[in-house]
Amino acid sequence: GAGVSQSPSNKVTEKGKDVELRCDPISGHTALYWYRQSLGQGLEFLIYFQGNSAPDKSGLPSDRFSAERTGGSVSTLTIQRTQQEDSAVYLCASSLRLDGSTDTQYFGPGTRLTVL
Amino acid sequence: AQSVTQLGSHVSVSEGALVLLRCNYSSSVPPYLFWYVQYPNQGLQLLLKYTSAATLVKGINGFEAEFKKSETSFHLTKPSAHMSDAAEYFCAVRARSGNTPLVFGKGTRLSVIA
């Protein structure tokens, strides 16, 4: 079956512009996660969804970052007024359940964001 | 709070040699542990996971890892490296209870020399 897909694969934007990153999880997966991968920093957890609800937004780096999920499926990560330090690969993952601690998280290929 | 330390940001081995990638965790209660691999320009793929059954876990592509509670370690090994193993490897932990995300180490880049 289809895996996690993300779009766009690459995004180049100018400082100060807003960007939207999209994630399509595996069908039937109720849990969805966003991570950021910066050079030399590993993977940084941003936010997770159980269904359409995001119980904990404390991982978002600033109030310029927001995320939503609709219909228990597609999720959008929005970055407003982008800064150069936002440049990174943004990874989305999904798993069958949020409270299934052993459930495998399946990752998408990521969106590479470059802020000029 | 949980954390993961991967010793060595870059490991280089010869083709056919043993691969050893180190991972130590910090947690008051032994967590669930995972190893992921990331090939260039691709997402992360699960290699194996420890969920408190056998302490020696076998994964895909000939990799295995052993959970050692006394050493708080979960090192990844492969007896004989192949050129196709060149990638970035991430160790991750997750608490056994509660709605917690994966906590990743900073990754180890494996190079395989012909």
DSSP secondary structure, A48-100, as one string: EEETTB-S--TTSSSTTEEEEE-TTS-EEEEESS--GGG-EEEEEEEES-SS-
Highest mean predicted confidence (pLDDT) among A89-98, B14-23, B49-58: B14-23
Interface of B with A in 9-28 (CB under 8 A): 9
Ramachandran region, residue A23 (left: φ > 0; alpha: ψ -120 to 50; beta: rest): beta
Task: Give CA–CA dist B12/B1, Å, rounded.
Answer: 32
Cis peptide before B31 (omega within 30 of 0): no
Q: State residue B88's pLDDT score.
A: 95
Rounded to an integer, the average pLDDT of A61-68 is: 95
Q: Do B101 and A33 touch (CB under 8 A)?
A: yes
Q: Is B106 on the interface with A (CB under 8 A)?
A: yes
C-alpha angle B107-A43-B92 in degrees, rounded to nearest 5: 60
- Measured from the Cβ of residue A55, the count of other Cβ atoms closer than 10 Å reads 11
Question: CA of A46: which chain B residue's CA is closest?
Answer: B101
Which residues make Cβ contacts (< 8 Å) with residue B84, sequence separation at least 6?
none
Question: CA of A38: which chain B residue's CA is closest?
Answer: B106
Closest CA relative to residue A32, chosen from B101, B48, B104 = B101
Which residue type does B53 have? A
* Lowest mean pLDDT across A82-96, B46-60, B68-82: B46-60
How many CB pairs (< 8 A) connect A and B?
57
Q: Do A98 and B99 touch (CB under 8 A)?
A: yes
Q: State residue A55's pLDDT score.
A: 82
C-alpha angle A70-A75-A81 in degrees, rounded to nearest 5: 115
Q: Is B104 on the interface with A (CB under 8 A)?
A: yes
Q: State residue B53's pLDDT score.
A: 75
Chain A closest CA to B40's CA: distance in Å? 10
Per-residue pLDDT at B100 exceeds 80: no
Closest CA relative to residue A48, chosen from A99, A10, A7, A114 = A99
Q: State residue A9's pLDDT score.
A: 95
Asked whether A92 and A9 are in contact (CB, 8 A), the reply is no
Q: State residue A100's pLDDT score.
A: 63
Chain A closest CA to B37's CA: distance in Å? 11
Task: Give CA–CA dist A47/A56, Å, rounded.
Answer: 7
Per-residue pLDDT at B16 exceeds 90: yes
